[in-house]
Structure 1
C-alpha cells in the first residue's frame, strides 16, 4: 500500500470518506475554517479568518461509526490526532491517516501488555516499517481492544 500525498485538509477528509464508504461505515464531519475557528490559533482575534501569511486555515473533525470508535482531528499544519477507542495518537502525519485507518479496520492493530514497564499499549503498524504505539491509559479495555490483544 503506497502512501498518498494529501495536500489539504479537504483531500484528507475525502480519503477518509472513501474508506468509510468502502467499509460501509457512517461518517460525520465538522469543519472549522478561519484563524479564529481552528483549535491551534487561540491567539487569533475574533473574526480573523486568515493567518498572518494570508492563508486560510482549515481544520476538520471526523467521526466514524462502528467498532472500534474512531475519530480524526485534521489540523492545518499537515498532521492529525487519531483517537481509537479512547487511545489518542498525536502528531500523525496527514498523509499517513488513510493507511492508519486501514490498519485499524483491517485487523493489523494490536494491544500488547508488559510487566515492566507495566501497561497495555495499542500498536498500529503501517506499510514501510512505520509503527505507532500509545499507552492505553484506561485499565478497563474496551471489547475491541481486548479482542486485539497479543501476548
Structure 2
C-alpha cells in the first residue's frame, strides 16, 4: 500500500474523517487558521494572518471518540502530536497519521512491560518497518492499554 501524501492539515483531517467512518468513530475538529492563531506562532503579532513567507498556517485539533481515546494535533510544519489514552507521540510526520490511526484502531498497537529499562511502553507499528514507541507515564493503565498488553 502506497503512503498518501498529505500536503495540508485539511487533507490530513479528510483522511482522519475517512478512518473515523471506517471504524465507526465520532470525531470533532477545531481549526486554528492564521499566524496569530496557531500554537507554534506565539510570537506573531495580533491580527497577523500570513507567515513571513506569505503562507497561511493551518493547525487542526481532532478528537476521536471511543476506545482508545485519541486526539491528533496537526501542525502547519507537516507534523503531528498524537495522544492515545494519555500517551503522547510527538513529531509524527503528517503523512504517517492515517497509518498510525489504522494501527491503533486495527488492533496492531500493543503495550509491553520491561524490567530494564523499567516501565510499560505503548508500541505502534506502521507499514514499512516504522515503529513508534512511547513510555506510559501513568502506572494506572486504562482498560484499552491493559487489554493491549503483549508478552
Which bin holds the TM-score, normalised by the shorter protein?
over 0.9
Matches within 5 A, 1:2-151: 2-151=2-151
Q: Which runs of 5+ in 1 are unaligned?
A: none
* 2: CA distance, partners of 1:2 / 1:147: 30
* 2: CA distance, partners of 1:21 / 1:147: 23
> Contact (CA 8 Å) 1:73, 1:81: kept in 2 or not?
yes
SS at match of 2:99: helix
TM-score by length of 1: 0.99
Poorly superposed stretches of 4+, deviation over 3 Å: none
Q: Which runs of 5+ in 2 are unaligned?
A: none
The number of residues matched between the two structures is 151
Q: Quote how far apart the aligned CAs of 1:2 are.
A: 2.4
For the aligned residues, what is the CA RMSD?
0.5
TM-score by length of 2: 0.99
> Contact (CA 8 Å) 1:32, 1:38: kept in 2 or not?
yes
* 2: CA distance, partners of 1:130 / 1:142: 25
